[in-house]
Amino acid sequence: MSADTGTAVGMGRIGWAVADSWTITRRELAHWAREPVQVVVGLAFPVMMLLMFGYLIGGGRGVEGEYIDYLIPGMFALTMAFGLEATLLAVTQDLNKGVIDRFRSMPMTNGAVLVGRSVADMLQSVLSLTVMIGVGYAIGWRAHGGFGAFLTAVGLLLLLRFAMLWIGIHLAMVAGRPELVQAVQILVWPVGFLSNAFAAPGAMPGWLGSVVEWNPLSATATAVRDLVGPPGIAQAAGSSWAAEHAELLAVAWPLALLAVFFPLAVRRFGRLSR
Can you give the pTM of this predicted structure?
0.87
Q: Where are the domains of the chain?
A: 3-272
Q: Which parts of the chain sit beneath pLDDT 50?
A: 1-11, 64
pLDDT for position 103: 76
pLDDT for position 4: 46
pLDDT for position 5: 46
pLDDT for position 121: 93
Q: Where are the beta strands (DSSP E) in the chain?
A: none
Residue 190 CA to residue 110 CA, distance in Å, equals 35
pLDDT > 70 in the chain, percent: 88
Q: What sign for the dihedral angle of Cα 90, 134, 53, 192?
A: positive
pLDDT for position 56: 65
pLDDT for position 108: 72
pLDDT for position 234: 66
How far CA 131 is from CA of 79, 155, 225, in Å, comes to 11, 16, 18
Residue 184 CA to residue 122 CA, distance in Å, equals 21
